[in-house]
Structure 1
């Protein structure tokens, strides 16, 4: 079933401008057009858009997204390279998540400290200002 750009954008959760941008920078190739010259998206196109969106949302840089899109054009012959690229990205996501967990712990420590200060009386405004 073909989808209009608006339908494709709605299904993937991106704007039409994002789809246009992805096409412009070479992330989306071979989008068919109807008899009126309007783009129509297939289920495969939506799947590719969804994956690109996932990779971008998880922090993959545009240059690496381009490389991934190039590799997709190579078909099965590039599966190992795509796998390696995705494994590298997965490791980077793990590192980001670990960093966020450390930062979250620091935030939670501050929450505990502020709660303890707000319960204590009288408040030391200088101590509060330092934290």
Structure 2
């Protein structure tokens, strides 16, 4: 590790990344967070660099977007292997991109329905009328 890089404790990294120390340790053991091995201080405590934090942020974003731990692990292994693995890394990311685009399309469909329902109830409240389907748990009568 370069001496000029900032050295961060696991607690500092947890605070910056928004995940617990326990979660960082879990992901480290699972082999998904770091492109390289975690440095240790003379006392055996984990020491992270800004590069480590950037890698952690990337992996957390991939995880939050629905990428599975095995796929993140594979991506990490490829990154560790270095040059020559770019085509496989690209393929993994493209496949995941397609999944995320599908999730976004589904979420937009859900949002459209929610916005419709909000508009129906805003109109009902504004007019003082009784909403169609208000006595139905699903609200099936209000022109979903």
For the criterion TM > 0.5, the same-fold answer is yes
Deviations 1:79-118 (A, max 9, x none): 1111111111112111111110110000111112222223
Task: Work out which of the residue numbers 135, 138, 144 in structure 2 matches 1:129.
Answer: 135
CA distance in structure 1 between the aligned counterparts of 2:130 and 2:27, rounded to whole angstroms: 55
The equivalences for 1:44-123 within 5 A come to: 44-123=51-130
Q: Which residue of 1 aligns with 2:10?
A: 5
CA distance in structure 1 between the aligned counterparts of 2:104 and 2:93, rounded to whole angstroms: 16
Specify the SS of the correspondent of 2:84. Answer: helix
5+ unaligned residues in a row in structure 1: which ranges? none
TM-score by length of structure 1 reads 0.89
Q: Which residue of 2 aligns with 1:23?
A: 28
RMSD of Structure 2 on Structure 1 (CA):
1.7
CA distance in structure 2 between the aligned counterparts of 1:98 and 1:5, rounded to whole angstroms: 37
CA distance in structure 2 between the aligned counterparts of 1:32 and 1:21, rounded to whole angstroms: 16
**Residues matched between the structures, number:** 130
